[in-house]
Chains A and B, each alone.
Chain A
Amino acid sequence: MTAPVLEMRSIVKTFPGVRALSDVSLTVAPGEVHAICGENGAGKSTLMKVLSGVHPYGSYEGEILFEGSPCAFRDIRASEAQGIVIIHQELALIPYLSIAENIFLGNEHATRGFINWNDTLRHAASLLKRVGLDEHPQTRVADIGVGKQQLVEIAKALAKRVKLLILDEPTAALNDGDSAQLLRLIGELKEQGITSIIISHKLNEIAEVADSVTILRDGRTIETLDVKAGSTTEDRIIRGMVGRDLDHRFPERTPYEGDPGAHPALEVRDWTVHHPIDQQRKVVDSVSVQVRRGEIVGIAGLMGAGRTELAMSVFGRSYGRNISGTVLKDGREIGTRTVPEAVAHGIAYVTEDRKQYGLNLIDTIGRNITLSALSKVARRGVVDEHEETRVAESYRGSMNIKAPTVFEQVGRLSGGNQQKVVLSKWIFAGPDVLILDEPTRGIDVGAKYEIYTVIDRLAAEGKAVIFISSELPELLGMCDRVYTMAAGRLTGEIPRAEATQEVLMRHMTKNTR
């Protein structure tokens, strides 16, 4: 075996009151793709921040050897000078600057403070070619999709003569096509001798692209598995992450056997939504769906299929223009022109983007939970804070929100616990129909299971649940029926018994135009 390109030995990092890393070692061989797995809070991001100098030398214990020599990075610039570049989950591009300007941001081709544009554009074009992005370097970043933006980030890293590329959840926001392209690119970079570290929750990707995987749990290295040697299955990785065998990744669920004669709890007919800016474009095109009480109905689709747009336009017309179609609740037509109206009719929508659309991060757990139904803890327009606290505490218990009290700021919670707060908020509103949009995005395996259990319980209580997800196993494991969408149209309705990943994917990629 060749000498490792990177060695991190016994890294310990403590924050006030928390020990984020208590003993982590990581060894990466040159030219390999090394995956890091672990539940949220396992210490993956912290470890990468230590490596890239975000947490400067001296703020942690342990030692880092890069290409055999010890490192003491004071900041990100110091690590980048060595060829270590980190690409964060939230892309750090300036939307209104061009691709070329973004690639060389902070690293401009300039003489005496003035930018040499010809040189910049030529170099940018060659970098774009290397990452396989067919866009003009002067295109604004705001005008290209997320998948392409991710490629721009990699081009930016290449411009810094990257030797070790760190990608934090690179495919979290990408559709399957873009993900595949990105993973292919990582393979190509490997050929060129660039070592990569990938943090990912998507275990199938790891199996596909990684040479080895290091598993972290509770701030410790659990094990490093050799993926290429085979025999490392997803279940094997999951076992390392949670420290127990997960023979059931989904709660046992009795399939729905409702009364087909009764009216559906929610029915949407001929729903058409136009794009808010490009008004000629139909984002949702005459879609009809229905869900019954006690039933969990999935909606599958790739990026741009129009699932979120369908949900948000039904929920108080929160998205789109020129919306047409009818919404029926228990067989009667209802109006859902505004969010309060939709809520009053017993509809709840749990957003896919909890930080932006779901939570007031600077406020407390309690106040977030009660926000959508404040009148329930208020009398004559006055909030009863004691009652509010009591309610919030009960959800903290029943939803297992991990926080010392409900006075904790939501922004300080982990993703999984934040999601539980959003769910609590909508359960407290007491809806009949819950539309859950990617309820397990970006949260760890353990918390996912808890969320599944909650969803299952809601259905058992007789609520109708619409479950939008990009993870097919999740839909297969949870839903009684799955709708598939592609390019704004409904392309299939598949009962549980017939649903497999292959069947769903076939419908999701059906070309309807």
Chain B
Amino acid sequence: MPGFLRNQKIRNILLQVLFVAAVLVIVVGGWRNAQQTLQAQHIVSGFGLLEKATGWDVNFSLLPHSASDPYWWFFLIGIVNTLFLGTLGLALATLIGGTIGIMRTVAHPVLNLLGRSYVDFFRNIPLILQVFFWYALVTHLPAPRNAIDFGPLTLSSRGLYMPALNVGGWYLAAAGLTLLLALVLPLWLARTRRISRPPEERRGLVRGVLAGGILAALVILLVGRDAAGPLISRPELQGLNIRGGLRIPPEFSAMLIAIGIYGGAYIAEIVRGGFKAVGRGQTEAAHALGLTPLQSFFRIRLPLALRAMLPILANQYIWLIKATTMGIAIGFTDFFMIVAVTINQSGQTIEAIAILMAGFLAINLTLAAIFNRINKAIALKGNQLRG
């Protein structure tokens, strides 16, 4: 061994330089190879792609779309679809998981057994198999001619139809946003410390904002209504297909059911673990203080369990958001599917994959940041931490 290599510091620096060099060789080599291959295949590279029209269309979108829209708009549609499916799927999974998880924590053998069977059954079958199963199930429903009616809803192999407001897309979105603000803003106004008036005197303001918001939403709906048709459009059978109303395509329902049920099984276990982490002493103390079982559940066990399960729940949520990419297997146009079709159509593989990675990084980091914030906000402070 040459003399200078015996020096630990020099060796460390050399190792790190070697590491950086190896990474550089891989990255630069890969990049140069890709450039050469792409040039050989006459594929233009660069992000000019984003401005070009796609020439193909998507089958599910919350935003208006057509084949002449540029790629960046389609990527946005994909992200919105992914987030929409993810949000609804997470809500459904949390609902199912919370119910099943609590069923497993109460001391009742039959409920325990039911919850356990559910978890064991659905957790041990791959999600994508469940997606395929639900998709086959909803597409094997009767054809539109023999559709099943549940009151205003119509269920057929083409999807679930429901009555909808006959209002332009942008107006509908604006009205929904206004309504959401009208519900959230009063909650914030009632609690915030930014306003000097004490909470008791803010009631008028809060009610005013609520009423004003709802009124504004209604006005937006009325302004944006389609003058040609009635205000509410109902699904009706015309020829071989159903027209009018809002259609929820089978791809979306299959994904939603699968994510809700599979995620629910995982979340149930997290909820059970959270309740198990609550110290026995806490429950016994609540009992000794004379709290009823319900009070002890809502005031003592649930808040403590929530804190224990939140970090794991955040991981599970991120996992479930990533699982929405399985929509590509049955043709749901989520973000990943739009990227895959882009690669097929334009050949600009590297740019499309980079956009995909950036999109998922952004979604995951945002989710993680939100959960860290919640976690910090509800963490037990000071000496309450003593077990």
Whether chain B is bound by chain A comes out as no
Q: Which residues of B contact A (CB under 8 A)?
A: none
